Amino acid sequence: MNFGKIFDYTLIYSTIRYSTPILFAALAATITQQADILNIGTEGIMLISAFVSVCVSYYSGSWFLAILAAMVIGVLMAMIMAVANLKCKADICAIGMAINMFALAVTKFGIKQFLGTTGTFTDPKIVGVPKIHIPAFDNIPFLNKTFNNWSFMEVFGIVLVFILYHILYRTVWGLRLRSVGRFPMAAETAGINVTKMKYEVMIISGIIGGLAGAHLSLGYTQMFTENMTNGRGFMGVAAMYFGGMNPVVAWIGCLLFGFTDTVGNRLQGYGWPSQFVLMLPYIITILVVSISLWRHTVSEKKLKSSVIPAKKVKKGGMV
Amino acid sequence: MNTNAKNYRQKIINLLITVVISMLVGAVLIGVLGNNPWQAYGALFQGAFVGKLNFGTTLANFAPLLLTAYAFIIPADASFFNCGVEGELYLGAITAAFVGYNFKGLPGPLHIVLCFLCAMIVGALWSLIPAVLKVRWNVNEVCVTILMNYVAMYIASYLVNGPMSAKTGTAQTPAVADNTQLAKFLVPSQANTGIFIAIAVTIFLYWMMNHSTVGYEIRSVGQNPHFSEYIGISPVKSMVNSMLISGAIGGMTGCIFVLGVYGYFLDNFSMGIAFNGMLAALIVGNDYKLTPFLAFFIAALQSGAQGMERNTGVPKSIVDVIISIFIIFATMEALFSFLSKKKKNSTAKSQSNTHHKEAES
């Protein structure tokens, strides 16, 4: 096995490439989690907006329109979730899974009805999101392989991480949002409209979820496949837990998932069974989340032990 | 007690209204596609009930739906949202296949019991992982179970393509011993005696959850973990128990597929059966009595869909759309609160209660 070939500098861009769809999902989950809404429906929002963006791109020939349509449908799905959860008392996990099921069914139905195939749809008429090509890098292999030909969405994803970080931790709105998530009753006492805040967050989450789907089908690939998200939405939720609702740390989590995905794919060339390669990102995701939450409980226990007598801590440890 | 009965009646009425609404939405969709909705639903009904093959297919669909729905409800009663039944099902199935074609000398009934036992143990052990992660470190169960489904699927896929392959070209294991196969009836269809096992298990589970200590502890933990702990029920133990039971049911469902339907393990055979079971459970709000009816309804819709596609050209995937619309409406508990003013008051009250609860936590 040639490690030099697996771990070379092309790994940098591959990692970014594999992690971007998960990154968008993670951001969509992060912003709702800040308002204490667990956005299980990210997967469904991604899937349906991936489908819509392929449809619009195929029929209109404009990637920009396609992204807009994806965002609109993303917001629509998020609003169904929001109304169901906030107004009709639906359990958030239940309505989230319902949205996922709905997306799966509708896209399965739609791929036959609007695109005329089953399974996978790919066509040269699908216009993808343009790549950013910098001619000056062409002759330097390192720069060319690492920084050239990034998809527009990959750049935007990274920018979005810092935009969200800024909004959450440096603006009044962000502070209010975090207070809604921490302690809704206190927030309400302070004059914040909690319900309105939650609706706003769901709309933003829908927009980001729509971008995630559009990137998946127009940037990452240029096709649509039944259930093409393949758990990426849930990996995004996992990355959100890893980051503890902090977009920057969640991004690092996504990069970690993307990295294992890339390395796994390269290992396939060395005789690893394809199934092991395919299951690797899922196992890594579960491991990473478990370890990070384990660290979290340990540190929390330490914090508690300074105020509560040791006997009680021991009891808490059992639970 | 009286108000309970009244609430229950209200619940059933809401459910029926939801059925009607989603069927209407489906009818509109079929109409938009340029077909006659009336004809399409007629073909759907025929495809589900008329003829040996059709009715047999409905029954064959019913058994796994019923079991997987219960595999979802029992952990849900301990407030554990288990999306991992699909994975339990795959691993149970591959275990059953392994035991089925390996120990060929055993007498039939013993061999069948051994298959079921091994499948149930493997399923239970698999579901132990998310349960432990949840109770130890509070790792979100929805995320972990969904991701674990993929892992389970690929493990089974690796085994059936590699070490356990029958080497026949298609990805399947060797056939299980003849005397372990469950008897079939309504012959051209896939209906088998597994359905009676499923019904018996369901009745047992219903009894267990409502009249036994284990069931009481699980339900009590789901309703109020703090109170349960106060009266000496360990929330951790109950949650883990509920997941072990769920895993065993999932494994058993997989075993029924291998011994009853196929006679071997087929790669990727399930295609989301467990998720349909979950839908059935979610639609009725995790109600033990109503779940079998819903499971039967969904089974009928799915087997009827094929007949509908054959006879009227309406794509069968429309049925999945109808079911998913159905579930979106059904999860909105307060959607029909405008029906009676009294109920509206009570929802307002409980809403403020939940606010208080949120605030406290």
Q: For A35-81, what is each residue's pLDDT tens digit?
A: 989 988 999 999 999 999 999 999 998 899 999 999 999 999 999 99
What is residue B10's DSSP assignment? Answer: H
Q: Which residue of A has its CA nearest to B347?
A: A89
Choose the mutation target among A37, A40, A79, A109 for the interface with B, i.e. most B CBs under 10 Å: A109
The answer as to whether B300 is a domain residue is no
Angle between helices A274-305 and A310-318 (to 10 degrees): 160
Identify all chain B residues contacting A117, using CB atoms and an 8 Å cutoff: none
Range of the domain at B233: 74-279
Residue count of chain A, please give it: 319
CA B108 to chain centre: 28
SS3 A125: coil
Give the closest residue to A280 by CA, choosing from B30, B191, B158, B303: B158
Q: Which residue of A has its CA nearest to B144?
A: A286
Is B81 in contact with A38 (Cβ distance < 8 A)? no
Q: For B85-108, what is each residue's pLDDT tens digit?
A: 999 999 999 999 998 888 877 787
Residue A318: pLDDT band with limits 50, 70, 90:
very low
Using an 8 Å Cβ cutoff, are B242 and B71 in contact?
no
Whole-model pTM: value is 0.86
Mean pLDDT of B226-250: 89
Choose the mutation target among B28, B94, B135, B147 for the interface with A, i.e. most A CBs under 10 Å: B147
Give the closest residue to A275 by CA, choosing from B95, A267, B145: A267
DSSP string, A60-105: H--HHHHHHHHHHHHHHHHHHHHIIIIIS---HHHHHHHHHHHHHH
List the single residue in A89, A112, A235 with the smallest CB-CB distance to B334. Answer: A89
What is residue B178's DSSP assignment? Answer: G
**What's the number of domains chain B is made of?**
1
Highest mean pLDDT among A122-126, B144-148, B223-227: B144-148
Q: How far is B31 from chain A (nearest CA, A)?
A: 14
Q: Between these two residues, B17 and A316, which has the higher pLDDT value?
A: B17
Q: How far is B107 from chain A (nearest CA, A)?
A: 35
Residue B6: pLDDT band with limits 50, 70, 90:
confident
Using an 8 Å Cβ cutoff, are A26 and A20 in contact?
no
Give me the pLDDT at residue B335, please: 67
Distance CA A204, CA A312 (A): 42
Q: For B112-139, what is each residue's pLDDT tens digit?
A: 889 999 999 999 999 999 999 998 888 8
Q: Which long-range contacts (CB under 8 A, 24 or more apart) does A169-177 make?
A: A177/A34, A177/A35, A177/A201
- What is the SS3 assignment for A236-301? HHHHHHHHCCCHHHHHHHHHHHHHHHHHHHHHHHHCCCHHHHHHHHHHHHHHHHHHHHHHHHHHHH
The answer as to whether B95 is a domain residue is yes
Q: For A256-268, what is each residue's pLDDT tens digit?
A: 988 888 888 888 7
The answer as to whether B63 is a domain residue is no
Q: Please state which of the ranges A129-133, B74-78, B96-100 shows the lowest mean pLDDT.
A: A129-133
Q: Which residues contact B216 (CB under 8 A, 6 or more apart)?
A: none
Q: Which residue of A has its CA nearest to B235?
A: A319
Give me the pLDDT at residue B179, please: 77
List the single residue in B154, B158, B333 with the smallest CB-CB distance to A90. Answer: B333
E strand map for A109-252: 120-121, 131-132, 150-151, 224-225
Give me the pLDDT at residue B342, please: 46
SS3 B246: helix
Is B324 in contact with A112 (Cβ distance < 8 A)? no
Is A184 in contact with B157 (Cβ distance < 8 A)? no
Distance CA B44, CA B51 (A): 13
Residue A28: pLDDT band with limits 50, 70, 90:
very high
Distance CA A222, CA A128 (A): 6
Q: Which residues contact A64 (CB under 8 A, 6 or more apart)?
A: none
Is B157 in contact with A275 (Cβ distance < 8 A)? yes
Identify all chain A residues contacting B327, using CB atoms and an 8 Å cutoff: 98, 101-102
Using an 8 Å Cβ cutoff, are B132 and B239 in contact?
no
Residues of A numbered 198-227 whose beta carbons fall under 8 angstroms of chain B's beta carbons: which are they? none
B356: left (phi over 0), alpha (psi -120 to 50) or beta: alpha
Q: How far is B85 from chain A (nearest CA, A)?
A: 14
Mean pLDDT of B210-223: 87
Residues of A numbered 42-61 whose beta carbons fall under 8 angstroms of chain B's beta carbons: which are they? none
Identify all chain B residues contacting A282, using CB atoms and an 8 Å cutoff: 147-148, 150-151, 154
Is B147 in contact with A238 (Cβ distance < 8 A)? yes
Choose the mutation target among B35, B133, B141, B146 for the interface with A, i.e. most A CBs under 10 Å: B146
Q: For B158-200, what is each residue's pLDDT tens digit?
A: 998 888 877 777 778 888 877 777 777 877 777 788 889 899 9
Residue A150 has which token pair?
A: 């990034």
Q: Between these two residues, A27 and B172, which has the higher pLDDT value?
A: A27
Residue B290 has which token pair?
A: 């109503």
Residue A314 pLDDT exceeds 50: no
Q: For A206-221, what is each residue's pLDDT tens digit?
A: 999 999 999 999 988 8
The answer as to whether B305 is a domain residue is no
DSSP string, B318-339: HHHHHHHHHHHHHH-GGGGGGG
Q: Between these two residues, B56 and A309, which has the higher pLDDT value?
A: B56
Average pLDDT, whole number, for chain B?
Answer: 83
Using an 8 Å Cβ cutoff, are B157 and A275 in contact?
yes
